[in-house]
Structure 1
Amino acid sequence: MAASKWSLLCGMALAGGLAGCTADVVPSSSIASCTDLAATCGPKKDEICCANSLVTGGEYERLELDQNKSYRATVSDFRLDRFEVTVGRFRRFLSEYPGNMPVAGDGAHPNIENSGWYDSWPLPQDQAELHASVECNPDYQTWTDEPGDGEHKPINCVNWYVAFAFCAWDGGRLPTEAEWTYAAARGSEETNYPWGSAALDQDHAVYCPNYSEVDQGCPTATRADIADVGSRSPAGDGKWGQTDLAGNVREWTLDFHDVYPDDCVDCANLTNVIGGREARGGDWNNDAASLSSYQRIGYDPTAKMSWVGFRCARRPR
């Protein structure tokens, strides 16, 4: 079914009160993590957890705060998951592992050479190792050995390589930093937040309003502070319908963390630098400043952190 036709039918269904239908989302067998998974995501718990929508490409300025300088980037059309990858979706990935490990070239950006999987990259060798890899701080990790009330929380404690492998298995890829920022800044509108210019508050995003430099986070932080995906929708949604692009968990992107490349089209920084891989969007245990669509930070790609998760990008249909 063509995307435009599905969008029309879905709009009609929504008007009629049908649950589990998200405009501009095409059900697809290529989205492995949601095969036979009930539509239980979003603020009303009635949306497809693998919902994704078309981000219409264009040009925008990437602001480099440290340099007080901007760089023009052009991105082509792409689809981006509405929600951060949930514990429930990741559980599907783990259940099929290691039979679903990527091979060379998987998960590549269609317009960027050498952006796919490299066989030399490290991954857990079996299901037990993958299970252990998503355990970090027991007070904050969202993974549980048995399904419980955290199935709709974003999976955290996932390193960059595992996130890449998941997206490749799920019929997608990690978004480039340029794509992620474009979606978070509302494209050429270049706003500070995904929802626009409205002031940041807890109705729009999941973050720490009483952040403490002494504690390096919320003084009373618990796992409960990590919200179910889409909990701030629709107030916190981006221009193309993505939730939690600001707050909840930071999100891995394809790029290495470095100064922006010169003006470019469908670009990504694939040169290994000391800054690690880029993670964007701010998180549940950080302050308001971290949620700006212009804030950048890199982490060791082998690190697993309770404040970092991911979402997948996909080919336009």
Structure 2
Amino acid sequence: MHFFRPLAAIAISLVGGGACIPDVEPNVFVLPRCEQVEPSCGPTAKESCCAESEVVGGQFNRLNDARYPATVADFHLDRFEVTVGRFRQFVAAYPANRPKPGAGAHPLIEGSGWDPEWDAELPAGKDALQASLQCDANFRTWTDEPSSNEAAPINCVSWYLAFAFCAWDEGRLPTEAEWNYAAAGGNQHLAYPWGDEAPSQDLAVYGCETTTTVCPVPRVGSKSPAGDGPSGQADLAGSLFEWVLDYHADLELTGTCNNCAALSDGGFGRGSRGGAFSHTEETLSTTSRIGELPEKSLSFYGLRCARDE
């Protein structure tokens, strides 16, 4: 069961003043765990699946609403959602690569790293991990052996596994404020990552009638560059919902947020953003939020990682 909050109806205000974050071409880095990952992502299937780009920090209004100001420091964010091929390297090293206490922390947020009490929420071994990735017979992207799905986004990943992967990859889950900032273009306060144009199938992967149709989740970046965010991230709207660090709660949406995250359980699960192939266009807005139980493995959930300077 998942939990929606009725926030998509909040009016969008285009706020001037201050410096907007600039367009940044994604910089391709050799990330720590990408030695075996083929460059098969993006619209031509030739880009590095391990690309990331800097998001230049600043001030903005969460949910495009002046009641919720925030400041975000500079950070790096994966250009693509984590692919099956990238996740395969994590599976190969499991369970020796389980997070150590405190791993995957945001350097400016105390208490944001791995809690050893969460160890019990991870699969016991490699076989159990692979079994957990088979959450949906029709829509799972994982295959136990390499296949044509290597550049598809990995799904059926719980919040705990998403956190563990990013920590192993020497990164972390982005905070909800960071994710929102990247998707909305900072103080550009965009309605969608690509701008204010209404969603279409040329811009995002969404709207599959999963009750009657088996819709394969396409290669990451298939709608790039038209659907990219201002800092070069693909699929910030559509494809898969992306786990964020925060609990899904109202607590951190009051007052000023300076590199903040909601670390107290408000009873609505962990947060995620971005919409999915199986959901309607209402979830694609940069003001749309959803919460889900962190132990859930769902075919419409995936991840991307953040890193610090």
| Partner in structure 1 of residue 159 of structure 2 | 160
- CA-CA distance at 1:125 after TM superposition: 1.8
Cα distance in 1 for residues equivalent to 2:124 and 2:268:
26
Structure 1, residues 105-164: CA drift from partner, whole Å, max 9, x if none? 100001000100011102112111111121111111111122111111111110000000
Q: Percent identity?
A: 51
Could you give the per-residue CA deviations for residues 5-29 of structure 1, whole angstroms, max 9, x where no partner exists?
A: xxxxxxxxxxxxxxxxx9552534x
Unaligned runs of 5+ in 2: 1-23
Distance 1:63 1:81 in 2: 22
Question: In structure 1, how many angstroms separate the alpha carbons of the residues matched to 2:284 and 2:67?
Answer: 19
* 1-structure distance, mates of 2:183, 2:218: 19
Q: TM-score, normalised by structure 1?
A: 0.86
Contact 1:87–1:150 under 8 Å retained in 2: yes
Checking the alignment, whether the CA contact within 8 Å between 2:26 and 2:232 is kept in structure 1 is no
Counterpart-to-counterpart distance in 2, 1:24 and 1:293: 21
Residue 239 of structure 1 corresponds to 230
Q: Compute the TM-score of the two structures, normalised by the length of structure 2.
A: 0.88
Structure 1 position 106 matched with structure 2 position 103: yes
Amino acid at match of 1:108: A
- List per-residue Cα deviations over 1:165-214 (Å, max 9, x = no partner): 00000110000000000011111011110011122100000001xx7xxx
Q: Which residues in structure 2 correspond to 1:273-312 (within 5 Å)?
A: 273-312=266-305
Question: Does the residue aligned with 1:70 lie in a helix, a strand or coil?
Answer: coil
Contact 2:28 2:50 in 1 (8 A): no
| Equivalent residues of 1:283, 1:307 under 8 A apart | yes
Give, as a single letter, the amino acid of the residue that structure 1 aligns with 2:122: L
Cα distance between partner residues in 2 of 1:26 and 1:230 = 14
Asked whether the equivalents of residues 31 and 50 of structure 1 are also in contact (C-alpha less than 8 Å), the reply is no
1:136 aligns with 2:135: yes
* Equivalence map 1:5-154=2 (5 Å): 23-28=25-30, 30-32=31-33, 34-63=34-63, 70-121=67-118, 122-154=121-153
| C-alpha contact (below 8 Å) 1:81/1:242 kept by paired residues | yes
Select 1:256's aligned residue among 244, 247, 257: 247
8 Å Cα contact 2:221/2:235 also seen in 1: yes
Which amino acid in structure 1 is aligned with residue 172 of structure 2? Answer: R
Structure 1: give runs of 5+ residues left out of the alignment. 1-21, 212-216
Equivalents in 1 of 2:215, 2:205: separation in Å?
13
Letter in 1 for 2:163: F
Q: Is the 8 A contact 2:28 2:48 kept in 1?
A: no
SS in 2 for 1:120: helix
Q: CA RMSD in A?
A: 1.6
Q: Distance in 2 between matches of 1:182 and 1:23?
A: 17
1:73 is displaced (CA, Å) by 0.6
Letter aligned with residue 77 of structure 2: L
Q: What is the match of residue 3 of structure 2? A: none
> How far apart, CA to CA, are the structure 1 residues paired with 2:166 and 2:68?
28
Letter in 2 for 1:27: F
Deviations 1:273-312 (A, max 9, x none): 2100001000001111111010011000000110010000
Q: Distance in 2 between matches of 1:269 and 1:261?
A: 11
**CA offset digits 1:56-80 (Å, max 9, x no partner):** 001111138xxx8730010000000
Is residue 269 from structure 1 mapped to residue 262 from structure 2 by the alignment? yes
SS at match of 1:267: coil
Q: Which has the higher contact order (CA 8 A, sep 6+)?
A: 2
Q: Is the 8 A contact 2:58 2:73 kept in 1?
A: yes
Do the aligned residues in 2 keep the contact of 1:50 with 1:81 (CA within 8 Å)?
A: yes
